[in-house]
Amino acid sequence: MALYSDKVMDHFMNPRNVGEIPDADGVGEVGNPVCGDMMTFYIKVRNNRLEDVKFKTFGCGAAIAVSSMVSEMAKGKTLDEAMKITNESVAEELGGLPKNKMHCSNLGADALQAAIENYRSKKAGAPVKAGAAHDHGDACTCPFCDSELAGEDAPICRSCGVSFQNCPACGKLVSSKDKSCPHCGAERPGKG
């Protein structure tokens, strides 16, 4: 049996709605700091409907496919309908996801919902949330070998030996394989 469905592979190889909306009505960013998946959704709202949805994702193939599918599922829906998109409905639309990649579907639905909440907060004149890290604990997998990661303070992959630590420049997690931070470009001490 194939690891990913044909639909997952199609959305990974040909993602829909990639990019930014410069004058977005709402922006939602979520990420899992351990495995490094980061998703940002941008929405344009007209008459309480999602007129346009775009995304930028840094992550594995499943994360990209999930972002693409969520954007397709949300476009044209009312805000309330889009808020009902769940990780289960995303995975189902994609023809299933491996158990160790289900956290990606959570991130996609959460990023869309964060963008809608951001829009609603702006419209209500309330303080605007900037986005949040998404903690899935032991559901996170190594981006190098897809094995489950262990360790809370300094995650390490027991399969391939990669460890993760905070970048001194930006504070985001980098792997022991990185010569520089993939987030801010800062060179890691001793890796030059």
Respond yes or no: is residue 157 known to be catalytic. no
Cα distance from N-terminal residue to C-terminal residue, the chain: 42
Kindly state the tokens that stand for 47: 């008459």
- Longest alpha-carbon distance in the chain: 54
The residue count for the chain: 192
Q: How far apart are CA 64 and CA 14, in angstroms?
A: 10
Q: How far is CA 134 from the centre of its chain?
A: 9
Give me the catalytic one of 60, 104, 157, 167: 104
Q: Are 112 and 28 in contact (CB under 8 A)?
A: yes
Respond yes or no: is residue 35 known to be catalytic. yes
Pairing relationship of beta strands 132-133 and 26-31 according to DSSP bridges: parallel
Give me the catalytic one of 35, 60, 142, 157: 35
How many CB atoms within 10 Å of residue 189? 7
Helix, strand, coil distribution of the chain in percent, nearest 5: 35, 25, 45
27: CB partners within 8 A, 6+ apart: 40, 41, 42, 43, 115, 118, 131
- The residues assigned a catalytic role are 35, 104
